[in-house]
A and B are shown apart, each in its own frame.
Chain A
Amino acid sequence: DAGITQSPRYKITETGRQVTLMCHQTWSHSYMFWYRQDLGHGLRLIYYSAAADITDKGEVPDGYVVSRSKTENFPLTLESATRSQTSVYFCASSEGGFGNTIYFGEGSWLTVV
């Protein structure tokens, strides 16, 4: 049972480059999420998706693009990376509904230099 996997786990990129973080889940969960974790902040929601082809902005969406053509995949793209986007990115999924557990991937550590 692979669960939810993220790739790459660690990446260093240069300012201005495009970067895509991949997320894949094997549970057929309808909801998927992208969060970022920064020192001094809680996990902050970037984007989420309720189903394939349905996405919505979270708290901090600027500079990010998402797509969800298949239920199991939810890639996050930084169109032109900035140093402020240096962070740990967590993908997550759930069956949906406020009372259901959200399951997290192991995180992608991104450094923008």
Chain B
Amino acid sequence: ILNVEQSPQSLHVQEGDSTNFTCSFPSSNFYALHWYRWETAKSPEALFVMTLNGDEKKKGRISATLNTKEGYSYLYIKGSQPEDSATYLCASSNSGYSTLTFGKGTMLLVSP
């Protein structure tokens, strides 16, 4: 069973603050790293899929980077807004198959 770790477990910031989270995953047999945004009572929404070392992806105010050699990914949110409040999940594929191992998530709360 793979170990995917996310930190911090939770985060509370003020509107306008920029923030970042970390996802650590096994670097051996790495194939892909996925980021999801999940609001309670809704389905997890895919943000990014990254496969190559050094990959950087951006979607609006959210961006992500990938370091496959050391086994970590960062998710950045610039100028947080209350609607960014959600749990952010990362998941790693280390088998070449389509199954993912998820971390426990980082719960973000953005106060107005």
| Contact surface of B with A, Cβ cutoff 8 Å | 1, 4, 31-32, 34, 36, 41-46, 49, 51, 89, 91, 93, 95-105
Contacts and interface: CB of A to CB of B under 8 A. Distances in A.
Interface residues of A, number: 28
Contacts of B103: 42
B32 A98 contact: yes
Nearest to B90: A42
Given A42-B105, A44-B102, A98-B51, A106 B43 contact: yes
A33 B46 contact: no
Interface of A: 4, 31, 33, 35, 40-45, 48, 50, 58-59, 90, 94, 96-107
A22 to B, nearest CB: 15
The A interface is mostly helix, strand or loop, or mixed, namely loop
18 contacts: A35-B102, A42-B4, A42-B91, A42-B102, A42-B104, A43-B91, A44-B102, A48-B99, A58-B99, A90-B44, A96-B98, A98-B97, A98-B98, A99-B51, A101-B34, A104-B43, A104-B44, A107-B43
A99 B31 contact: yes
Q: List 5 A-B pairs, minimum CB-CB distance, nearest first.
A: A42-B102, A98-B31, A98-B93, A43-B102, A104-B43
The B interface is mostly helix, strand or loop, or mixed, namely loop
A33 B4 CA distance: 19
Given A42-B4, A42-B89, A42-B105, A102 B43 contact: no
A102 B102 contact: no
A42 B43 CA distance: 14
Given A101-B34, A106-B41, A45 B46 contact: no
B98 A48 contact: yes
B42 to A, nearest CB: 6
Contact of B32 (A44, A50, A90, A99): A99
